[in-house]
Chains A and B, each alone.
Chain A
Amino acid sequence: MGSLGGVVADSQFHVLAVDDSVIDRKLIERLLKISSYQVTTVDSGNEALEFLGLQDEENKDSDLPSVCTANHNRREVEVDLIITDYRMPGMTGYDLLRKIKECSSLRDIPVVIMSSENIPSRINRCLEQGAEEFFLKPVQQADVNKLRPHLLKERLRNNKSKLIEECLGSRPIKKENFQ
């Protein structure tokens, strides 16, 4: 990891896991904790959106693009990655993915989809919608190991923009410096 180690190891990565199966929730939680991630599990897309600070009462199960009222600052907990089951009653993992990507404050959070069904058209649809990975269930350690690069990339990106903001903030902007 070299010089990157100091920058990205600020805090533990926090993963939000969404699955309606209590067994699968327990499994994914254990797999994630073994990888030293902080984990929150919820049992539905609605609960996930609530946790992410997206209040969407009217459009809960609709196909319409949701009005994104998520305020980044309102969310108390940082979520670094969302891993969700595809097939859930009510809101599917795909619907959840779409709602997250439609929301300006959430769209940069990497999303991973899990499914017990190996359907190429489904996999493509999810990847096209912006999912980073698609795991076939049962999910194994090897799959969870694939999450790290996505988490690191996002953390680096965030740190970089924070660093830039800090630099810009602490120095007065002189017009003559930008000829």
Chain B
Amino acid sequence: MEVGQLQERFVDYTKSLFCEGFLDDQFLQLQQLQDESNPDFVVEVVSLFFEDSEKLLNDLTKTLDQQFVDYKRVDAQVHQLKGSSSSIGAQRVKNACIGFRNFCEEQNIEGCLRCLHQVKQEYSLVKNKLQTLFRLEQQIVAAGGAIPMVE
């Protein structure tokens, strides 16, 4: 595929991620922090997010699986995940966390388990989408093109 087509694909794909609410303005802020001196900044931050989130989700699964659930711990972990998803602009993950914290406060195990499931789903989706986006970027660069700015 030639550069122009790849670039078009990239722009369309990026726009769809915003339209569908997977990403919000904070992701654009991240992109603006990237330049020639820090060309991999976005990928680096997002990779940290993937690592951190996977740890948190595993931990949450264990914590909610206990006979006596430590809701304070659950709340702290969801707060962390909400924070990190907000920091990279992963809007749907962030929103899923908001509902989660309410159920924590109520110490509602059913609600919490439902929310955990939802957060995992949203995380999985956005991870997939971002990896696709990064792959598209790599293809453009490999074909000798520049990554277009998407407003």
Contact = CB atoms under 8 A, between A and B. Distances in A.
Interface string A29-72: 01100100000000000000000000000000000000000000
Nearest to A33: B38
Given A30-B38, A138-B86, A23 B49 contact: yes
A24 B45 CA distance: 9
A26 B26 contact: no
Contact of A23 (B29, B33, B41, B52): B52
9 contacts: A21-B80, A21-B87, A22-B52, A23-B52, A23-B88, A26-B45, A26-B48, A30-B38, A116-B79
B29 A89 contact: no
Interface in B31-60: 32-33, 38, 41, 44-45, 48-49, 52
Given A26-B44, A27-B45, A34-B33, A21 B79 contact: no
B84 interface: yes
Contacts of B26: 138
Interface string A1-30: 000000000000000000001111011001
State which size class the interface on B falls in: 20 to 34
Identify which of B44, B49, B83 gathers the most chain A CB atoms within 10 Å of its CB. B83
State which size class the interface on A falls in: 10 to 19
B48 A23 contact: yes
A124 interface: no
Interface of A: prevailing SS: helix
Interface in A88-129: 89, 116
B87 A24 contact: yes
Contacts of A31: 33
B82 A30 contact: no
Closest 5 CB pairs of A and B: A23-B84, A138-B87, A116-B83, A30-B33, A23-B48
A87 B76 CA distance: 10
Nearest to A26: B45
B33 A21 contact: no
Nearest to B83: A116
A31 B26 CA distance: 13
Contacts of B32: 141
A23 B48 CA distance: 6
Interface in B1-50: 26, 29-30, 32-33, 38, 41, 44-45, 48-49
A34 B88 CA distance: 18
Contacts of A34: 33
Nearest to A115: B83
A88 B140 CA distance: 40
A21 B32 CA distance: 21
A137 interface: yes
